[in-house]
Structure 1
Amino acid sequence: MHKNLPIGKTLPNLEFIVLGFGDSSYQKYNEIAIKLYNRFNILGATPKLLSSNLESGLFLVDDSAPGGLMSGIHQFTIKLFSFLIKIFNLEIEFDWKSVESPSFIASFPSEILVKHGISKSKMSAYTNPQNITNYYSLECRENVRVTGKEHFQDTRLISFESTQNATYEAGDVVYIQAENSDEDVDRFFAVTQQPRDLTVRISGCAILDASIDHSLYSIVKACFNLNSTPNQFFFLDLASLHQRNQQSNPSERLCNELQRLLEFGFATTSEDVDEFYSYSSRMKRSLLEVLEDFPMTSLLLEPQFWFEVLPYPITPRAYSLCNAAHEPPQILVAVVNFKTKMKKPRKGICSSYLQSLSPGQRILCRIAKTSCSLNFSSHLLTQVPNRPCILIAPGTCVSPMRSFLLQQDHLACDMMQPNLLIFGCRTKSQDLYFGNEWNDLVKRNRLIVFYALSREPGVEKTYVQKVVTQQADLIWRYLSLFQASVMVVANTKSMARETRQAFLDIICKAEPSLDAEQFLQDRYQVEAWG
């Protein structure tokens, strides 16, 4: 796909179909799929027409559409198989329910082989969950709450020590490999009635070493996300357990559970999908709660089926480093803890895991850049004065900004002008992170800081994008006279969009003849997590 490939001659014998997944509420809906489709066309490939009402060779699935992704997958799969049957003159009939039926799923032999282990003791360790080599072992040095005691949000500044030579710089992130809480693991074994201390050797699973004994307890704790919200495929996989463990005289409760699982799994109409989402996504119902809602089926969930039914591995969670490059790693973590519409508590698996860390405990992680990491390198020069940065971040999004400011200060970088920081928080007394550090940099003329306070008593509610507008003259001075760069870390897509628009408005008002988008193109960076 290199840009120098001959146009129209590179892929003359290739026929293709592009399937894209996206959300039309985002500005760049399915952008990658569309670019890939266009690139194939330019290189001479031939798109295939699946049906008369479908754009040639391109099928876009919209998560915001009625029925969501699952409905789009249904439509595409039916069109694709109908097309293949017609092209190859196959004498078969395709039916989605047949392909996704529990009996069809159960007809495939399990690729996971479970053997009883040699050890009888409870195992606590497991092999690297993603079988990669660039993971670090970090030891928790300090775990401090940095929000006020009366504040609803528990935010932690966690410091680590590394015995390995981990290298990182401002803008890098650390991927934390979390584990399930002991409480959730206990609930899993209570509903499945499996022997938690039984040690086994599992072959056929990439994330576990088949030559090492693992207790069932350690496997559940380390591998499966018990707090995830199940999709429709999970319900069909659960239903397949009824076929794998057929009983001569199933109870009425077991039959009712199977019927309900099939209703959720095969939901394709708007009404059925809405009912499924009401049960699952809207209530943020966890996998563990689903198992507890289907107790008879959960008893059929034996270890040899775990890796076929339960989602794994637990996805590592990325946190921006907030320390300078010469210091031990630190992260700022807002603990996810809320209640659903059913008044049931919900906790983030990774933030709760980090909240529970005690000094001396070790975690598994890796440090890396992301595709959206901010690049501060051009503002960490030691030989010439650095252009200033306009830094914008609410809440814990300020982490990479702190990392940069501390590193720049450590290097004693000469500066044309102090950096600007626009920091958003609720109140100065409860969640103004690193306030003393900002004040110190201000006193030494290395920083100018503005606070956007959204819940300060007696003060008008203000967000960072409004402060940008309020400081239009100063910001234009920085952009026009000092060629300042803009770094934005956003926790919502609307905040990122509105902040950029505020900058465009400032430029257009100050210099109407300028192309505002072009003016910002090489100096505006965004790291958006929402």
Structure 2
Amino acid sequence: MEIIGARDDGDTASKSCSSEISDTVTVLYGSQTGSAKKLAFQFANELLEKYKKKVFVDAMDNFDLSSIVDSPQLTTIVFFVSSYGEGEQCDNASKTFSYLSKLCSENSHHLKNLHYGLFGLGNTAYDIYQGASRDLKNCLSQLGSTLLGSYGEGNDEKGELVEDYLQWKNQFMPTLAEHLRWKPSKENTYKPSIFISEVSPRTHANGEIVSSLRDLNFLDKPPYHIAKPFNARLINSQKFTDGQRCQFHCEISLEGSRLKYQTGDHLGVYPINREEDVSKFMFLFCLRQKAEQVVQLRSTLPLWIPSPTTYKAIVKHYLNINSAISSQMLQTLANFAPSDKSKDRLLRLSSRDLFTKEVVERRLTMWEVLLEASDGNPWPDVPFSFLLESLGKLEPRYYSIASSELLYPDQAHLTIKCERELVKGKIFYGVCSNYIESICFREADQAGRLRDWQTVPIFVRKSSFKPPLNGDRPMIMVCVGTGIAPFRGFVQHRIAMSAAHNVGKMILFYGCRDKSDILYPNEWPKYSTALESKLSVHFALSREDPARKQYVQDIILQLSKDIHELLEQGAYFYVCGDAMKLSNMSKLVRQILVQRKGISEEEAATTLKQFKLNGRYQEDLW
């Protein structure tokens, strides 16, 4: 558990917080992709800045809740909870929630002395919104816990998560302080939690100055994981479509890594920032002249940057320079403005309405906002430590593996769409997808071959989105766009199994714009032949004929009788792809159950819930 408190090297440690709970706050997070964790640490750090009190921060599953069950001592915990999949708890919160659920079944107020705050992170594009946080709230209520202030929810569908958080935090934090009888510190100046020392390269002549994840010597031996990725070679690639809707296939070698994946798992890839963005960022904060300056870092917070390193290495490989900016961050940055004019512009932009219109809707980054506010002039007074604390880590991106380990044990295939979205005259580039695309196609030799030194840092993340263990069970697969990736792996998996076992029937519903948008077009007929017609593929082409737009939902309804028969035979139903296009799929399944099975809406909902509990209905949406 991280302790955020006094600003010296000895104050960050791992220890139990149960003995000091009376005048301290514990902040717990359930986070799958890092969003809830980031907000938890931001919240804890702001408590420290305002009240100069110790705050304990950790993942929910790392905290021993049994230590406060039926405790006579008052306990204060603030939860930041993301929903994962179908409104489920994240991996680092599931054990805690299971434990609480068991306590609830005892019908006793085991946590009556717990006072808590709760902020949920979700996306209304999903069928179940804020399922994890709402379930936690209901459970704590049954256990007799007291909610401090109001329950907060952040919606990430329209990019308003940070603003939703700030609105909740501004109301909740004074309530929390009043409950604990904390008074704000009179000190109001910025104090860094990350300390940066510029040192001579000679000081570290016998050490290692780290430029990127590729340079770390300790990475050359397994095991490899999220904190220790493997530098894998890109060995092959194929482009399907180009331009703004660039989509491509790439193959990554796992040789020498001992990494093992199972069909349906995810591959984590660490990207680097675009050179153009890095250059502008370095200019804005006057770092170009000392780009290769060696720096040593120490921190009272978890440090996610190897040290020693250089300014350029941090900005290019580790810092999320294109992360979303908040209105509160603008207010803080105004204190470092190079002119009164720039300061006034930032303060005006921090108002909610103007911020939404000029920053959120245009998807501007911190450095883009500051460049506009100063008419293109640098901001030399912004502390580099503030940038590290505010922008945070450049997180890995996750891709469904588009191959089966039964056919490709030493390779992981990816199906990638380059994010290049035109937003109000500005092209928004996805960091990782364009990074991989540049390696696969822009840095290849004249024959299109990838060079041996072209590597990317990767690791495998386990997933529950997997084909049934019993190979003769039918499968119904629904996807749009690059959501086809795991199903390519599922089909390959069944082909490998069919050599020795009978396999069940498979139906694939694949939504695309038109025929030119179909990925792996030459493979599907071959797969169907290899499986002796056990595989049927139905393409829904939404823009092939303007007079007759067809979506996967339309074809599913047309074949509802076949789908119901397969479900009666124990079929597994999978959905993968864009949440905006597929979030109503569970509703469609309920509709088929009502119409074909002749049951009520309530009975259909119960049946679908049972499918989900048994793993027979799964979604992987983004």
Regarding TM over 0.5, the answer is yes
Partner of 2:236: 142
Distance 2:477 2:512 in 1: 14
Distance 2:379 2:462 in 1: 40
- How many residue pairs match? The answer is 481
Distance 2:139 2:306 in 1: 41
Distance change >3 Å, CA 154–CA 26, structure 1 → 2: closer
Distance change >3 Å, CA 475–CA 415, structure 1 → 2: farther
Distance change >3 Å, CA 305–CA 463, structure 1 → 2: same
Distance 1:208 1:462 in 2: 48
Distance 2:392 2:180 in 1: 37
1:2 Cα offset (Å)? 4.1
Give 1:213-228 correspondences, 5 Å limit. Answer: 214-228=309-323
1:423 Cα offset (Å)? 1.0
Give 1:354-393 correspondences, 5 Å limit. Answer: 354-358=436-440, 359=450, 360=452, 361-370=454-463, 373-380=464-471, 386-393=472-479
The residue type equivalent to 1:476 in the other structure is H
Partner of 1:15: 115
The residue type equivalent to 2:493 in the other structure is Q
- Cα offsets for 1:358-416 (capped at 9, x unmatched): 4231111211124xx41214244xxxxx1110111111101111111101111226346
Distance 1:140 1:186 in 2: 26
Q: 1:286 aligns with which of 365, 368, 373?
A: 365
Partner of 1:249: none
1:191 aligns to 2:278 (yes or no): no
Distance 2:157 2:536 in 1: 41
Partner of 1:239: 334
1:478 Cα offset (Å)? 1.9
1:334 aligns to 2:426 (yes or no): no
Distance 1:464 1:308 in 2: 44
Distance 1:278 1:259 in 2: 17
Distance change >3 Å, CA 197–CA 507, structure 1 → 2: same
* 1:374/1:525 contact within 8 Å kept: no
Give 1:431-510 correspondences, 5 Å limit. Answer: 431-443=517-529, 444-457=532-545, 460-480=548-568, 482-497=569-584, 499-510=585-596
Give 1:70-89 correspondences, 5 Å limit. Answer: 70=163, 73-74=166-167, 76-78=169-171, 80-82=173-175, 84-85=177-178, 88=181
SS in structure 2 at match of 1:298:
coil
Distance 1:174 1:410 in 2: 21
Partner of 2:248: 156
* 1:387/1:415 contact within 8 Å kept: no
Q: Which one has more relative contact order, counting CA pairs under 8 Å at least 6 apart?
A: 1
Distance change >3 Å, CA 503–CA 131, structure 1 → 2: closer
Compare 361-370 and 156-165 and name the one that shifted more: 361-370
SS in structure 2 at match of 1:236:
helix
- Cα offsets for 1:279-338 (capped at 9, x unmatched): 1111112333223223456222354443134x1211211110001113111100001112
Quote the sequence identity (%): 21
Distance 2:399 2:563 in 1: 29
Unaligned runs of 5+ in 2: 1-98, 441-449
SS in structure 1 at match of 2:523:
helix
Distance 1:64 1:333 in 2: 21
Partner of 2:398: 318
- Cα offsets for 1:76-117 (capped at 9, x unmatched): 5345525744774x7x6x7xxx99xxx8252x2453222224
The residue type equivalent to 1:411 in the other structure is M
Give 1:102-181 correspondences, 5 Å limit. Answer: 104-106=188-190, 108-118=191-201, 124-126=211-213, 133-147=227-241, 152-162=244-254, 163-181=256-274
1:40 aligns to 2:124 (yes or no): no
Distance 1:67 1:45 in 2: 29
Compare 445-454 and 256-265 and name the one that shifted more: 256-265
Partner of 2:619: 527
1:59 Cα offset (Å)? 4.6
The residue type equivalent to 1:427 in the other structure is D
1:408 aligns to 2:489 (yes or no): no
Distance 1:292 1:460 in 2: 47
Distance 1:189 1:297 in 2: 9
Compare 439-448 and 24-33 and name the one that shifted more: 24-33
Distance change >3 Å, CA 138–CA 388, structure 1 → 2: same
Distance change >3 Å, CA 2–CA 79, structure 1 → 2: closer
Distance change >3 Å, CA 401–CA 426, structure 1 → 2: same
SS in structure 1 at match of 2:517:
coil
- Cα offsets for 1:342-371 (capped at 9, x unmatched): x2222111111010114231111211124x
Distance change >3 Å, CA 193–CA 76, structure 1 → 2: closer
Distance 2:108 2:540 in 1: 53
Aligned-residue CA RMSD (Å): 3.3
1:123 Cα offset (Å)? 6.3
1:255 Cα offset (Å)? 0.8
Unaligned runs of 5+ in 1: 243-252, 268-272, 381-385
Partner of 2:130: 30
Partner of 2:480: 394
- Cα offsets for 1:118-143 (capped at 9, x unmatched): 16999643577999545222111112
Q: 1:264 aligns with which of 339, 344, 349?
A: 349
SS in structure 2 at match of 1:280:
helix
Distance 1:296 1:510 in 2: 66
Distance 1:71 1:376 in 2: 37
Distance 2:534 2:517 in 1: 23
SS in structure 2 at match of 1:146:
strand
The residue type equivalent to 1:464 in the other structure is V
Partner of 1:299: 380
* 1:155/1:334 contact within 8 Å kept: yes
SS in structure 1 at match of 2:561:
helix
- Give the TM-score of the pair, scaled to structure 2: 0.70
Distance change >3 Å, CA 20–CA 305, structure 1 → 2: closer
Q: 1:208 aligns with which of 302, 305, 309?
A: 305
* 2:154/2:160 contact within 8 Å kept: no
1:427 aligns to 2:514 (yes or no): yes
* 1:114/1:303 contact within 8 Å kept: no
The residue type equivalent to 1:160 in the other structure is I
The residue type equivalent to 1:433 in the other structure is L
